[in-house]
Structure 1
Amino acid sequence: MQLLSWLAAGVPLALAEEGNPEQHGPEGNAECWDGMHTFATCCLPGADGTYAPPTDFEALMARGHTGDTSVLPAILQLLSSGGEDCSSQASGCDADGGVISARQWKAFFEASSISKFMRLQPWPPEGKPSLLWRTCCSDDRLSIRERVMTLAGSCAVGAAALVLSVVPLLENTSHAAALEGYMVGSELAASLDEVGDCRWRHQTNRAAWMHYDWFLSPPEKIFPCPGSLRIFVDERDAARVLREAPLSCARRGLCFTEVWVHEFLRRASCRVDDPAEADYVYLPIYMSCYDMHLSKRADQALALENLMGDVMNRRGPPVLLAFTCEKWKMFGWRSVLQGRKRDYLIAAVEARPLLGPEDDERILPGTSWHCQDCFRFGLDVVLPSAVPPAEAQRLRFFNRAPAERELLLVWKGEHAQSDARADVREGYLEVNETVRPNIIKHLQSKPDVDVGRSSMRYSFLMGNSHFCLVPRGRGWWTVRLFEAFYAGCVPVLLSDDVELPFSDFLDWDTFSLKWPMREVGEGLYQHLKAIRDDGETINELHKGVRDAACWFDFLDPSSGDCSPYQGLLKELAHKRQGRPRRPLRHFWF
């Protein structure tokens, strides 16, 4: 606990996060990589003046207690080993001469272990899973099983971890290839679990694979549904290109909730096989994953046009569509939905989506409008956003008890004035986002606050803070709201027009706060400080966060009455009551 307390403390990060680009280039020293790919966080000066990765734990801790957080990545590597020196256990992974060298395996294992505790941006070139897979296993004359088992002859733990890491890549070839890779990887994993392999226990990040099992399983009706709701999932073959590669789409980060909704509904016990019996017809379309508002792929554009034209021009139960980004990423969606025979219901994470020039000719290039009438309040549903499994696991790991939290508030992220990628910065400028720069301007000097640019300590800080600020991004919604629940952190909403999911049955006042986003400053700080210092109030808020967290956890589809899936179904059942069902006589797909 002392180690985690120091890791999560709000000490300065100037050295750790800036690196030494003058000496080693903008990406630091590629020969000494740590997860942030910068010199200062990886190679520390020794007594002889040379730079090398540090290995002495006590020396690292001593430096850390002085505020020198450049030692953090090295400490995380030692922490991830569970106190064991896995490299001392002789195996083929440590010997050169194989297709994948000992150096490459070392980079792969170190990056995998660090990824359990911090975000990797980027992976080290020598240990990048896709590159290693091409090095060892690109011979398509052999089955995937044969390729993996050949590799396992020299490094079993590496073969298991590598093939499981690239299952989404294999999915781009076929579902069968992804399933074969998952099966052989799981068999190797079971044998490694049985013998207690050190590397398998401590140097692999299995959280990233936790959803493979049900994503790759047959669509059997196993997940619970409340009441008598009935949903038909329209998976016609002609529209397969609109929902391809779910594993790849699900790991792309923001706006991928559409995949999780699909994978649940196709296995939900309330799924019916005949659309004539359904209360809703769900159309699984990965709009955000493939940017379908831009018509990048001709095959997808044609399939989308044919699907929507056919469905919306036939009478039948209301169509259910999921929009999971600040833009509703379906080309021409308004003309597709409006004025047709078919009723519809939208489940969206953003109730006031951004419209661009591709949506409305009145909008100038480089600008966006927030649509005020796209979402039909009272008819449509606000949906939570999913959090990637590996990120969720990191946040859970550092979720500390309220009495042990040392920071008042935290916010880490990009903004309109940051030195992030130009497209990110321009995106914030496009919507005149000012609340994030104001957070830094007014709060960064406070003693019990940690705000600023994105940090590799993101999970530590959220788990060590009472309040997590949730400012608007390009849209009014932000995934940071839902990350806060995994971290056990009370969300403070700084987004005036955000619409919150499940507000019909969840009392958000019991587990969150809202503050005018244009009034970020001393008043907000003093208000949060007063709440923290009132033991009864802060404990009630923390309890509310923990009690409500299950409503936003997409990772457990088999949970009983409390999950985002159950919340969506509950909302759909409520909306159904206000819609008389029309008798169907001539209805087909």
Structure 2
Amino acid sequence: MQAAALCAFGLLLPWTARGQSCWHGEFDEQRCCVKNDPACWDDLYTRGKCCMGNETRRSRGDPTCWMDGYSYEECCKENPKDGCWDANFGPERCCVDKELNVTDLTVNVLEIDFAEAFGRILAHLNDDSDCEGEEFWNDVKKTGAALNVSHTFGQVGRPPNDVILKLVSKRALRWAQEPQTWHADAAQCPEGALAAVDLVISDIDRALERWTWGGDVSEDTARTLAGLRHALAQRRPFASMQPWRTQDLMVEHVPRLYGLEGHHRCHGSSLRIYMYQLPQYAYMLKPVLRCSQKMSQCSASVHLHRWLMSGSCRTESPEEADLFYFPAYEACYNETACSSGDTERCFPQSFDPEELPFFHRRGGQDHIFVFACNLLPFMDLISIRTRNSIMVTVESFQAVNVAGPNMLAWLVYSKDVLIPGYIPAWRVSSMVAFCRPMIERTILATFHGHSRSSEKVGHMYKRSLMSEVRDRIISYFGQNSCCSAGPPVRDYFRRSGLSRFCLIPAGLTAWTIHLYEAFFFGCVPVILSDDLTVPFQDVIDWTKVSIKVPTNLTMEELHQKLLSVRFGTLKRMHQALKDARCWFDYSRGWGIEGQHENDCSPYNGLMRGLAKRAAAIKTSAHALPKYWEPSTG
């Protein structure tokens, strides 16, 4: 029955009376329950689950507890998986076996949207007659279906297991090398061809180090595949392809990053930006697709670079350049230049910004460096050499960390540009789907995230001077029946979409991605981070979309403050959040959306900030070389 691809994701299926969800294709109740054909059964489909009629059976724990990648085996043990338990789900409820009637079990499970959605997709996987006759397409369909449901509910989902990844990758590599094979397979099963490329293109882009494939496996190979997929998708959009619709939002960035979706006018900016392309640092820009999503909140550097590369503001002439951009996917961590030693930075130890060809033209003032996660500490050589340069960063302040390494750094608002953290399009779509009208929100305030008291966070986090506010939030609001606070939970999207306020505390540094997620959830962000500076203040009135309070405010005082906000005010702020969310959506601003100066996107916010810095540089008195002496003439 080939259920292994589905079992690998740990997802629960809603069992219906007499095992209706068990019977697909050649497998039916007569063959499996009466004749007991062993080919019917595997880890997912068992005789006990499918051949039980209306009798009762003993459940291993409460089946309504297991969703979003959690299971009895992961949670009901001495050291449960992080996030298993919260105020609604605990071992006393979920780990106790009990007798369940099949009908009752069906009703209980279907109350959980995640399980219901997965069950519906499973039930239709074999109803479509297209692409039958080859097990390859079935593996692609089932693996993609599991990912699709995970993304719909805000879960990353597990990637294909090694067996399926290797199988699909070999087929995809053949497509890249033999276009005639692609056209034949795409004609036989267009939906499957699209989905197969989606499943493996990021792994092909990073060269699939785990296996020896033969031939050239690289960004060029992945770009070839992306081009084939893009052309097919234009003729056969995914919208009508259920249940094949798998990762269209997960890979929506691929054509843009590979330059397949045309150029834009940099939101009408007149700036001219020279992009360094130095061969000795080319490895710091690979692998593109993996770096664009790995620890996604820190991957804006990839998207900013590729956006500028496809824009009219880019110039290849240094003489006409207003600014110089040094691209580096520094937040991709061990995928690029980071060493495994005791370095505090991801740039190579040999990198010296003063050796860049045009750095001394204005003492580095007109040079741009992007830090999409942590700024370099002030003690770092690069920070010293680039003290006059423009830092494009998500960070506004990093405190000294007593656990080390020394992270102390902060944004200089007069010369640097603050940007929001990156949120993938599939995650944005899911958050917006859970965004409820304010009148339907039943939770006053919510926060679920890591804290110093979390068992599985690193030692730097536990000793961070800024994160103590998280413990105070969890301690107080976690015990309040009208609120929801604690460690990460499975239904985080659902809770956030039902909350009037989202609490935004500092963490390891002053910023957190929770701030920008609140815009898509539609919950009013309440910022508890004294040193946080917010981006795009020239286009967003932050006093109308958020609340910022001192971190030394007691939680009792904060609670009363939130209760005192009038409902009419909440409705206005909710609408303002929805109106402003486009400034934090990195999927906007490409192609025709990036043509006009008033179009809304984080790239437009960046260009506005850079324009102000460039204007200030032109009037700067810093025109002398680094060293000088009297003329000998």
- Range class of TM-score, shorter chain: 0.7 to 0.9
* TM superposition shift of 1:286: 1.0
Query: Where do 1:74-473 residues align within 5 Å?
Result: 74-78=115-119, 85-92=124-131, 98=135, 100=136, 102=138, 105-123=141-159, 125=161, 130-134=165-169, 136-137=170-171, 143=177, 145=179, 156-172=190-206, 173-190=217-234, 193=237, 196-200=240-244, 203-217=245-259, 221-252=263-294, 253-290=296-333, 294-296=338-340, 305=351, 308-311=354-357, 313-316=359-362, 318-328=366-376, 332-338=381-387, 343-353=388-398, 366-369=403-406, 371=408, 374-420=410-456, 424-432=457-465, 433-473=467-507
Letter in 2 for 1:448: C
Q: Is the 8 A contact 2:141 2:195 kept in 1?
A: no
Q: Is the 8 A contact 1:326 1:354 kept in 2?
A: no
Residue 114 of structure 2 corresponds to 73
Q: Is the 8 A contact 1:484 1:491 kept in 2?
A: yes
Across the two proteins, how many residue pairs are aligned to each other?
525
Q: Distance in 2 between matches of 1:313 and 1:197?
A: 52
Letter in 1 for 2:524: V
Q: Distance in 1 between matches of 2:327 and 2:97?
A: 50
Q: Is the 8 A contact 1:231 1:271 kept in 2?
A: yes
Q: Distance in 1 between matches of 2:495 and 2:489?
A: 9
Query: Is 1:501 matched up with 2:535?
Result: yes
* TM superposition shift of 1:510: 0.9
- After superposing the two structures, state which structure 1 stretch, 138-147 or 317-326, moved more: 138-147
Larger Cα-atom Rg = 2
Letter in 2 for 1:334: S
Q: TM-score, normalised by structure 2?
A: 0.72
Residue 570 of structure 1 corresponds to 608
Q: Distance in 2 between matches of 1:576 and 1:463?
A: 40
Q: Distance in 1 between matches of 2:120 and 2:325?
A: 45
SS in structure 1 at match of 2:221: helix
Q: Distance in 1 between matches of 2:418 and 2:278?
A: 27
Q: Distance in 1 between matches of 2:434 and 2:120?
A: 13
* TM superposition shift of 1:61: 4.5
Q: Is the 8 A contact 1:354 1:368 kept in 2?
A: no
* TM superposition shift of 1:85: 2.5
CA deviation profile, 1:387-429 (whole Å, cap 9, x unmatched):
1222111111212222222222221212222233xxx342311
Q: Is the 8 A contact 2:175 2:182 kept in 1?
A: no
Structure 1 residues 122 and 282: CA distance shift in structure 2, 3 A: same
Structure 1 residues 313 and 275: CA distance shift in structure 2, 3 A: closer
Q: Distance in 2 between matches of 1:329 and 1:240?
A: 24
SS in structure 2 at match of 1:492: strand
Residue 84 of structure 2 corresponds to none
SS in structure 2 at match of 1:265: helix
Q: Is the 8 A contact 2:515 2:525 kept in 1?
A: yes
SS in structure 1 at match of 2:361: coil
Q: Distance in 2 between matches of 1:311 and 1:138?
A: 41
Letter in 1 for 2:116: I
Among 61, 66, 72, which residue is 1:19 paired with? 72
Q: Distance in 1 between matches of 2:610 and 2:145?
A: 45
Residue 6 of structure 1 corresponds to none
Q: Distance in 2 between matches of 1:311 and 1:353?
A: 31
Letter in 2 for 1:230: R
Query: Is 1:546 matched up with 2:578?
Result: yes
Q: Distance in 1 between matches of 2:434 and 2:182?
A: 34
Q: Is the 8 A contact 2:175 2:181 kept in 1?
A: no
* TM superposition shift of 1:64: 6.4
Q: TM-score, normalised by structure 1?
A: 0.77
* TM superposition shift of 1:248: 1.3
Q: Distance in 2 between matches of 1:541 and 1:262?
A: 33
- After superposing the two structures, state which structure 1 stretch, 558-567 or 187-196, moved more: 187-196
Q: Distance in 2 between matches of 1:27 and 1:132?
A: 33
Structure 1 residues 268 and 443: CA distance shift in structure 2, 3 A: same
Q: Distance in 1 between matches of 2:130 and 2:429?
A: 29
Q: Distance in 1 between matches of 2:608 and 2:445?
A: 33
SS in structure 1 at match of 2:608: helix
- After superposing the two structures, state which structure 1 stretch, 167-176 or 140-149, moved more: 140-149
SS in structure 1 at match of 2:297: coil
Residue 35 of structure 1 corresponds to none
Q: Is the 8 A contact 1:470 1:491 kept in 2?
A: yes
* TM superposition shift of 1:489: 1.8
Residue 31 of structure 1 corresponds to none
Structure 1 residues 326 and 60: CA distance shift in structure 2, 3 A: farther
Structure 1 residues 254 and 103: CA distance shift in structure 2, 3 A: same
Q: Distance in 2 between matches of 1:573 and 1:64?
A: 53
Q: Distance in 1 between matches of 2:254 and 2:263?
A: 17
Q: CA RMSD in A?
A: 4.0
Structure 1 residues 354 and 181: CA distance shift in structure 2, 3 A: farther
Q: Distance in 2 between matches of 1:175 and 1:43?
A: 50
Letter in 1 for 2:613: K
* TM superposition shift of 1:119: 0.7
SS in structure 2 at match of 1:207: coil
Q: Is the 8 A contact 1:149 1:159 kept in 2?
A: no
Q: Is the 8 A contact 1:348 1:383 kept in 2?
A: yes
Q: Is the 8 A contact 1:410 1:449 kept in 2?
A: yes
Structure 1 residues 527 and 89: CA distance shift in structure 2, 3 A: same
Structure 1 residues 576 and 186: CA distance shift in structure 2, 3 A: closer
Q: Distance in 1 between matches of 2:323 and 2:178?
A: 40
SS in structure 2 at match of 1:518: coil
